[in-house]
């Protein structure tokens, strides 16, 4: 099949030179990295900034009066300010640093649940959630005597909005919702769903791990109550992440963890807590990772992010077209609005075998249930192979993926 000329003017080869890992070979083949949904790669500028901190600035932050501590504190808090601007948060103090989306959602579920969820209440969770946006709410419900209620989806992998609206009631105390499904690529209409929830006075916790790396976001425009994401999926280091929360909720919520740094006063009779964000940041944080996250935001801001998003969309459409032309391939998740993810199965071949043979061709994909077992159960598959894209992937890599899938089919023929 002849490749259509791309519409985008995105200079992908220039961008690829920013990412040193992409120049290597795997099993004697040029690396084709299509596992961005698990972790994106890291540009040299982020590597350099993190190394500079470790080599020249390393010290514990806050409360230190010496030069290195003050310098590290300034760099770390500058990263928080970059996060605020990147997601258009109203107040930098509403941006809490965590290790990633998983810890962030656990923080929200634990602290919000202890304060606001009671016996007989309901928590709405969509059918396409990652386990990290299911299990914390199950635990909160179990501890508080509440109930998790599932927002259903259709056979295309789209949430059924009429059903969602019917599930909302005075019993609902939280809606937990992914912005972009990690297993299907579905882009959910979160702005509209948040507006609907707010008619009932219900807050919404958005898992934004798969959206923030792929298109611009604005938490004020979305009117999100909580918005949680990871650094390692947006070209930053592992161990970095953010919980954005509206001040009215964060001020009312109790701490998630306790210890140094999050207190105002401590005595054996009583402890009082620091204001946000410190209240939710007990102990020494991942300082290098936080500074690296700030550098990743600098990198994203330095490119044309909207052009990158447009290029990725074209790439996903091209990949969908290429794989749809292979009769043995079934694409799982065919929503009208998708981003960056292409999950598929091949009749009679386990996804782990697909992934192993693709790896022999230098192609990195993810094979498994993608921490979304309810999604696999819905589509009646044990697992899928998942190719997930970033703005440094190319049409030539998509062609290599399609050719390698043909080899997989030939091996098992």
| Of 36, 14, 17, the residue nearest 316 (C-alpha) | 36
Cα separation of 149 and 127, whole Å?
9
Say which residues have a Cβ less than 8 Å from residue 386's Cβ, sequence separation at least 6: 35, 37, 183, 341, 342, 343, 344, 365, 366, 367, 370
| Of 160, 166, 158, 174, the residue nearest 125 (C-alpha) | 174
* Maximum CA extent, the chain: 75
Say which residues have a Cβ less than 8 Å from residue 231's Cβ, sequence separation at least 6: 100, 237, 238, 239, 240, 241, 242, 289, 292, 293, 296
Residues serving a catalytic function are 371
| CA distance readout (Å), 43 to 286, 302, 309 | 19, 12, 17
Report whether 351 contacts 385 (CB < 8 A): yes
| Residue 108: how many other CB atoms lie within 10 Å | 31
Counted residue by residue, the chain has a size of 413
């Amino acid at each position: 099949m002849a490749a259509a000329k791309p519409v985008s003017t995105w200079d992908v080869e220039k961008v690829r030179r920013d990412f040193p890992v992409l120049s290597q070979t795997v099993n004697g083949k040029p690396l084709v990295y299509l596992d961005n949904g698990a972790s994106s790669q890291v540009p040299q500028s982020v590597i350099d900034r993190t190394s500079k901190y470790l080599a020249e600035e390393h010290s514990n932050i806050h409360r230190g009066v010496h030069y290195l501590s003050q310098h590290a504190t300034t760099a770390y808090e500058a990263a928080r300010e970059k996060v605020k601007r990147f997601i258009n948060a109203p107040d930098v103090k509403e941006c809490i640093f965590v290790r990633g989306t998983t810890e962030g959602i656990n923080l929200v579920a634990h602290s919000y649940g202890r304060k606001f969820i009671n016996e007989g209440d309901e928590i709405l969770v969509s059918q396409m959630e990652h386990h990290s946006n299911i299990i914390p709410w199950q635990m909160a419900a179990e501890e508080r005597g509440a109930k998790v209620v599932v927002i259903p989806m259709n056979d295309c992998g789209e949430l059924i909005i009429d059903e969602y609206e019917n599930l909302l009631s005075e019993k609902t105390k939280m809606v937990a919702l992914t912005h972009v499904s990690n297993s299907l690529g579905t882009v959910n209409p979160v702005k509209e769903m948040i507006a609907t929830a707010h008619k009932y006075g219900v807050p919404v916790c958005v898992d934004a791990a798969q959206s923030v790396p792929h298109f611009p976001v604005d938490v004020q425009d979305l009117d999100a109550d909580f918005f949680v994401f990871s650094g390692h999926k947006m070209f930053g280091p592992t161990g970095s992440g953010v919980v954005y929360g509206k001040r009215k909720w964060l001020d009312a919520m109790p701490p998630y963890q306790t210890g140094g740094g999050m207190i105002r006063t401590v005595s054996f009779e009583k402890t009082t807590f620091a204001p946000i964000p410190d209240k939710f940041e007990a102990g020494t944080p991942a300082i290098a990772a936080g500074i690296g996250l700030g550098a990743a935001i600098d990198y994203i801001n330095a490119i044309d992010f909207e052009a990158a998003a447009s290029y990725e969309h074209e790439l996903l459409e091209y990949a969908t077209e290429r794989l749809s032309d292979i009769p043995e391939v079934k694409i799982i998740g065919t929503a009208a609005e998708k981003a960056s993810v292409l999950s598929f199965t091949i009749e009679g071949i386990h996804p782990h075998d697909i992934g192993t043979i693709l790896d022999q061709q230098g192609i990195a994909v993810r094979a498994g249930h993608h921490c979304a077992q309810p999604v696999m159960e819905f589509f009646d598959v044990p697992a899928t192979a998942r190719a997930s894209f970033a703005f440094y992937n190319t049409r030539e890599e998509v062609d290599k993926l399609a050719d390698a899938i043909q080899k997989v089919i030939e091996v098992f023929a």
